[in-house]
Structure 1
């Protein structure tokens, strides 16, 4: 078992033990909440989790979950959205009724004036003047009411647009890592499943695992929560270096993943090396002391979708390749391939930095 799996197992055991000791129900949403809190990937969540106190009620945990893991509480959003929609539709119906009544009154006034004109063979100027004045007043009133209706309708349209925006943002944030702004593990899992959606014809791509080298030592140099700052730093550099808009995700801790759509190993490794170079391009600076801590480097393992017939094997091969990069000293990318060179005793090729 490599050190990444050992670390994950350690966190998992710690969470299970903590949940038991605190009397927290073994619900999936509780497990993920504690995982996020103890993995250190979201310092704000960790801080608020600890602030709840020793006795953590399910209600308090759910309130925290609604803030940091809203995907577990979709029913709350649906309920709120439904209530808002009902208010908006009721308001619209009332506006339409008002407009209908207003138009009816306006029509009545026109009808009365028309009958008055028709009943007189030679209407006197005074009567005509009064009728014209009444019609002008009625028209001005109707125009005023219509303008008010348009203004209110515009407000209603804006409110409905806000509701739509809230729903869209909610759906988007379900798959975004709050610390880095990259895709999260949930988005990564979904993307990996899609690779083999058609087993006989998998998506042509390369999947890469990446780990920040020497993360523990560099994080401890800054102490406090410099680890989170370090991960954010790497996330920003990956954003900037991802000029071809490949799929890049922050999984947890100091681990990232890339999914690059190409059938060419050389092209995938070129793009992977580009991301690795981007991460090393700017030094990490202590946020308070403003001193340089060091440049980040990545150990990366890549596996092509063509060497595996399911997602499990593909992930395992990428993990194996990343372990080879770590054991090789870090700051390199390893490609796991079934095209083994003659006399080679390993199923991978190391691409070292120039």
Structure 2
């Protein structure tokens, strides 16, 4: 395993710069707008940057949403989600009404039974008349109640089926909203949620490590071969990461050429071994155009590692793993660095881009 001490290079506070730019342009500081300008700042999508620049300082929310729907459809699916929620609420209301009707019918049937009982114990009529009248009432009431009950059971089954379909639709919306469209890994939104969950459980915190990885010299790759090639490399890197992690490991593309891995039920030594394994496998992976023979590689990763027990909360954990990552960069790249107390505090980036 290759390790290194931290460097002194300073990194820009991207979050502050993006927020300042949005404020100067009069853009509402909401999450979906932030993601647009965040990606434009990173320069990972030149066409997006051009379209935002073309809007100038008078961009309307409708214009921004139109661009957002084109490049970040997972953020702009609220209409579909709201529609599904509305439909689900309507189906639940229908089911509640149905059950209330059933309760009312059973209450009426109980009243019929009480009336029959009163007639049976009455001494004011002959036994034959009492029984004939009671049997007639009970027969009619029972037949009607059973018929209504059967219809309601069938309706309840149908409503339950419809609600299950809607639930599956909502699950699919959630999956899409939490998936990076390029790599098919989890996105920053899902990463934020999963990292925060580590500190909601003492066991998770005691046995969880965070790996933050960044592709080395990726800007040079984009500048030399173009962004379409860069996108293919990002997708391949995502596939290599997923293929070399156990199923329960959480892996996400957190922005640009950066990836993050949350390893539960893992010791510090295991986290370092996994980090070195994915580095080694990626460095040995060929990146070549099969038609032209152009070689895009080698592609390597720098990885920062921090255990959850070494941080106070999710923000602190990410920042410390980020410090370790930049220490790996400063030490020559294609290295794994474990965060240690005393490492220089860099002006780290704000990972909470979805927090409201």
Q: Which residue of 1 aligns with 2:81?
A: 77
User: Contact conserved, 2:212 with 2:322, CA < 8 A, in 1?
Assistant: yes
Give the deviation of 1:41 after TM superposition.
5.0
What TM-score comes out, normalization by structure 1 length?
A: 0.64
> Is 1:254 matched with 2:257?
yes
Q: 2:207 aligns with which of 199, 204, 207?
A: 204
What TM-score comes out, normalization by structure 2 length?
A: 0.64
Distance 2:266 2:181 in 1: 32
Give the deviation of 1:298 after TM superposition.
0.7
Q: Which residue of 2 aligns with 1:328?
A: 331
Give the deviation of 1:301 after TM superposition.
1.1
| Aligned positions of 1:130-141 closer than 5 A | none
Q: Relative to 1, partners in 2 of residues 1:309 and 1:158: Cα closer, same or farther, differing over 3 Å?
A: closer
| Aligned positions of 1:1-354 closer than 5 A | 5-6=11-12, 9=14, 13=17, 16-17=20-21, 20-21=24-25, 23-41=26-44, 46=48, 49=51, 56-65=59-68, 68-71=72-75, 74=78, 77-83=81-87, 162-198=165-201, 202-286=205-289, 289=292, 291-337=294-340
Q: Give the match's secondary structure for 1:182.
A: coil
Q: Relative to 1, partners in 2 of residues 1:289 and 1:346: Cα closer, same or farther, differing over 3 Å?
A: same
Q: Give the match's secondary structure for 1:300.
A: strand
What is the root-mean-square deviation in Å for CA atoms of aligned residues?
Answer: 4.3
* Structure 1 spans left out of the alignment, 5+ residues: 94-149, 339-344, 348-354
Give the deviation of 1:154 after TM superposition.
11
Q: Give the match's secondary structure for 1:295.
A: coil
Which of 67-76 and 314-323 deviates more?
67-76
User: Contact conserved, 1:43 with 1:228, CA < 8 A, in 2?
Assistant: no
Q: Relative to 1, partners in 2 of residues 1:24 and 1:286: Cα closer, same or farther, differing over 3 Å?
A: farther
Distance 1:53 1:319 in 2: 34
Q: Give the match's secondary structure for 1:202.
A: helix
Q: Give the match's secondary structure for 1:210.
A: strand
Distance 1:56 1:64 in 2: 11
Give the deviation of 1:4 after TM superposition.
7.8
Q: Relative to 1, partners in 2 of residues 1:316 and 1:77: Cα closer, same or farther, differing over 3 Å?
A: closer
User: Contact conserved, 2:22 with 2:28, CA < 8 A, in 1?
Assistant: no
* Structure 2 spans left out of the alignment, 5+ residues: 1-6, 98-153, 345-356
Give the deviation of 1:168 after TM superposition.
0.8
Give the deviation of 1:26 after TM superposition.
3.3
- The higher relative CO (CA closer than 8 Å, separation ≥ 6) is in 2
Q: Give the match's secondary structure for 1:218.
A: helix
Give the deviation of 1:43 after TM superposition.
7.2
Distance 1:231 1:32 in 2: 19
Per-residue Cα deviation, 1:58-100 (whole angstroms, up to 9, x for no partner): 123334445625456636522355258859999xx9xxxxxxx
